[in-house]
Amino acid sequence: MIKAAGVPEVTDADFESEVVGADRPVLVEFMADWCGPCRQLGPVLAEIAGEEAERLKVVQLDVDRNPSTAVAYGVMGTPTLMVFRDGRPVKSMVGARPKRRLMQDLAEVL
């Protein structure tokens, strides 16, 4: 598994409690081990997770090992980044992006 350091993995089993039930917005990276752009995004997500921990929870979900959640939220490609707030998806982005652009994309939902 290609885990970004400091970014916890969620599963179909705990998605409800870790993401939908979270007390702050959650950025979920729907990713896969074989996905090159997912690997590029790992260090960016790790930085954001550390810097924005007060305002934003960052997690990863492997779509190959957790297909139910990916299907439930209509994830068609990896990496898909989805922001959940108050239990609902409020923003979705597909593809890797540099940290500055990702922070700009997240500004409206934080």
Q: What are the tens digits of pLDDT across the range 26-66?
A: 999 999 999 999 999 999 999 999 999 999 999 999 999 99
Q: Hey, what are 87's tokens?
A: 């239990």
Computed on alpha carbons and rounded to an integer, the radius of gyration of the chain in Å comes to 12
pTM of this structure: 0.94
Preceding peptide of 67 cis, ω within 30°: no
Classify domain 15-107 at the CATH superfamily level: Glutaredoxin (3.40.30.10)
* 35: three-class secondary structure by DSSP: coil
Decide: 30 and 75 in contact? Cβ < 8 Å.
Answer: yes
In sequence order, the 6+-apart residues with CB closer than 8 A to the CB of 102 are: 44, 48, 81, 93
> What pLDDT digit, counting tens, does each position of 9-20 carry?
999 999 999 999
- Catalytic residues, by residue number, are 35, 38
